[in-house]
Structure 1
Amino acid sequence: MTESFQFAHPEFLFLLLLLPVLAIWKSRWGRPVAIRMPSTDDAIHVGAKTRSKIGGFLIFLGLLSFTLLVIAFARPRHGKGSTEVEASGIDIILTLDVSGSMAALDFKVDDKQVDRLEAVKNVVKKFVEQRPNDKLGLVAFAGRPYLVTPLTMDKDFVKKRVEGVKMGQVEDGTAIGSAIASSVDHLRDSSAKSRIVILLTDGVNNSGSVNPLTAAEAAKTLGVKIYTIGAGTRGEAPMPVQDAFGRTHLQMSKVEIDEEMLKEVASSTGGQSFRATDTDSLEQIYDSINQLEKTTRKLKKYQQYDELFLWFLVPGLLLLLLELVLSQTRYRRLP
């Protein structure tokens, strides 16, 4: 609920610029003291002023009533209302690989070597901020998928849940087909005009009971578009491993990503496939998807006004009437 004060016709307020002109005009041409003196000697002190004190008071009443009437004509009002943001019509499930291979240290954040998952989380949080009008959900997967957060408009909550995603929370593996099926299932009951899955993985499908292409066919049938991202350098990447004494050291490991399968999954559903070999390319990919799936902000505004002009009109008319009555009765000019 928002509150505001405004004038329905603010152009009338320009009339207030006439106040100095009216004040000068009334002081020069207003009602003079009308008592004639029998001699100039008696009029030395009285004639020093061309205005009586009462005349100044009447001028003040006139100018004040003029001010109040002008404000009344400008129609001051107090607004009470609210603004609702409609969903853009796009529901997005972010599907993130959290298998053990995401620990490979082939990405950088702020010139610091980090693992793939850490880099992905930073980029995904930025993407979430760029979708203020969409519903977003998060599915993570390794040997099996699990729901991190359902579809929601609460972006702060989504970013917090993204930050909390870790490796090792389920059995290891890369169940890409099951992850697609699970993500699509969470969009099944969505009434959005457009439903999207953004799948990021750094491996090949080696777990789960669902073939990725079969899951993609189900997504196509339900009208769900899938964007796929293969993350990781080409060739080999440094992977932290522990020796028999519990000490951690880096070991170069081969990077295996089934790019052909990811391309087929994406193209069969009307989406696109990308490959991210570093943090910069990963950011560019999410920026590209953000541009491809543009949304338009829709607002519903509800406003109710309490008119306040009577609070100025009535006192203005009363002061004007008072000035007229006083000038024609008690403070009437003597003939």
Structure 2
Amino acid sequence: MYELAHPWILILLFLPLLMRFFPAYRETRDSVRVPFFDTLVELSEQQPGVGAKVLRRDLAQRFLVGFMWLCLIVGAAKPEWVGAPVEQQKSGRDLMIAVDLSGSMETRDFELPSGERIDRLDAVKIVLEELASQRPSDRLGLVVFGNAAYLQTPFTDDHAVWKQLLLETEIGMAGQSTVFGDAIGLAIKLFRENDSDKRVLIMLTDGNDTGSTVPPIDAAKVAATFGIKIYTIAVGDPASAGEDMLDMHTLERVSELTGGRTFEALDQGALQEAYRTIGELEPELYETVSFRPRQSLHWFPVSIALILYTLYHAFSAGRNWLWHRKMGHSDGR
């Protein structure tokens, strides 16, 4: 299907009609008065004329001027070939994962089906890799936190890169403490830089907040105003004490304020079940984007005008050359 991107430009087609209301172009030439005018006329074999002479276009010139004006105006209106509608599906949710890298995450209290015991961070990595594989439509991001919160991976559709950057995280690389509230604050900033309306933050920690600039509950209240739902997963030991104590009250309150849920994952199976439940609560979303490919054809009428202009003047030049050559031969005889 053909369309004009700027159809209003076609109004200019009638612009030449206004020229009828303007006087004809006048040009004066210098002349020399000579006493032997009659003799000059006789020798030149030309008859003198009286008054002004109005130049008129021949039929070919009239056609070309009108047709070339039409081509240029149509080209300026930008004709386009509009193809059939094309639909694409893209992710409808931004899913940010925040992982605690404090020193307590090296506790080896998770047991694999083979009987091997691994630390908490390795157990989290295994389950997160499965999560990424099961949610191909989500844009994933990764925040790590310890003494401070850092962006490890911005939101991306490339889950292979996301997994690789997840595997490169190490215990203690962000410090030994747990700034739980600052991690929420960083996630809020990242969500605000994206235009998705479906925002989910999954936070994994095995301790309690140890000096965030913004307390976790206050950060959760801000997250709620931006439509961010927070799911918290406790991977620590409820019986721990001191700095390693698991603050379940704060985790539950953060989830409650944002409309999420809190899970306790004391082993590998419980951790997988937590992600499975989150998957059911937050099913995959797709946004369908429809567009019609457009190909500009403005060059076609412009090319026709240029070709006709070139051919006409080439033909006129050739005709004049032949005429002068013929006249030269006649004078020679």
| TM-score normalised over the length of structure 2 | 0.58
Tell me which of 240, 245, 251 is aligned to 1:262: 251
| Cα distance, 1:235 vs structure 2 | 2.4
Aligned to 1:93: 96
Q: Secondary structure at the match of 2:251?
A: helix
Structure 2 residue identity aligned to 1:91: D
For the Cα contact (< 8 Å) 1:229–1:274, is it kept in 2? Answer: yes
| Cα distance, 1:190 vs structure 2 | 1.8
Tell me which of 119, 123, 144 is aligned to 2:123: 119
| Cα distance, 1:233 vs structure 2 | 3.3
Aligned to 1:307: none
Tell me which of 207, 212, 216 is aligned to 1:212: 216
Moved segments of 4+, more than 2 Å: 81-85, 232-237, 296-304
Q: 2: CA distance between counterparts of 1:162 and 1:285?
A: 19
Unaligned stretches of 5+ residues in structure 1:
1-80, 238-252, 305-335
| Cα distance, 1:193 vs structure 2 | 2.0
Tell me which of 149, 154, 161 is aligned to 2:153: 149
Q: Deviations over 1:38-73 (max 9, x none)?
A: xxxxxxxxxxxxxxxxxxxxxxxxxxxxxxxxxxxx
| Cα distance, 1:255 vs structure 2 | 5.5
For the Cα contact (< 8 Å) 2:89–2:289, is it kept in 1? Answer: yes
Unaligned stretches of 5+ residues in structure 2:
1-84, 294-333
| Cα distance, 1:107 vs structure 2 | 0.4
Aligned to 2:77: none
Q: Deviations over 1:246-265 (max 9, x none)?
A: xxxxxxx9952100110000
Structure 2 residue identity aligned to 1:86: K
Q: 2: CA distance between counterparts of 1:278 and 1:259?
A: 17
More deviation in 182-191 or 134-143? 182-191
For the Cα contact (< 8 Å) 1:233–1:278, is it kept in 2? Answer: no
For the Cα contact (< 8 Å) 1:234–1:255, is it kept in 2? Answer: no
Aligned to 1:228: 232
| Cα distance, 1:287 vs structure 2 | 0.8
For the Cα contact (< 8 Å) 1:84–1:301, is it kept in 2? Answer: yes
For the Cα contact (< 8 Å) 2:208–2:244, is it kept in 1? Answer: no
Aligned pairs, how many?
A: 209
| Cα distance, 1:169 vs structure 2 | 1.4
Q: 1: CA distance between counterparts of 2:138 and 2:149?
A: 23
| Cα distance, 1:234 vs structure 2 | 3.5
For the Cα contact (< 8 Å) 2:210–2:243, is it kept in 1? Answer: no
Which has a greater percent of strand?
1
Larger radius of gyration: 2
Structure 1 residue identity aligned to 2:228: V
| Cα distance, 1:232 vs structure 2 | 2.3
| Cα distance, 1:298 vs structure 2 | 5.3
| Cα distance, 1:85 vs structure 2 | 3.1
Structure 1 residue identity aligned to 2:280: Q
| Cα distance, 1:222 vs structure 2 | 1.0
Q: 2: CA distance between counterparts of 1:280 and 1:207?
A: 31
Q: 2: CA distance between counterparts of 1:303 and 1:222?
A: 33
CA shift in 2, pair 1:236/1:84, >3 Å = same
| Cα distance, 1:208 vs structure 2 | 2.5
1:140 aligns with 2:140: no
Aligned to 1:49: none
CA shift in 2, pair 1:158/1:83, >3 Å = farther
Structure 2 residue identity aligned to 1:289: I
Cα RMSD (Å) of the superposition?
A: 2.5
Q: Secondary structure at the match of 1:121?
A: helix
Q: 2: CA distance between counterparts of 1:225 and 1:302?
A: 31
1:131 aligns with 2:120: no
For the Cα contact (< 8 Å) 2:237–2:246, is it kept in 1? Answer: no
For the Cα contact (< 8 Å) 2:144–2:174, is it kept in 1? Answer: no
| Cα distance, 1:207 vs structure 2 | 2.8
Q: Deviations over 1:50-103 (max 9, x none)?
A: xxxxxxxxxxxxxxxxxxxxxxxxxxxxxxx98743122x10110000000000
Identify which of structures 1 and 2 has the higher relative contact order when contacts are C-alpha pairs closer than 8 Å and 6+ apart.
1
Which has a greater percent of helix?
2
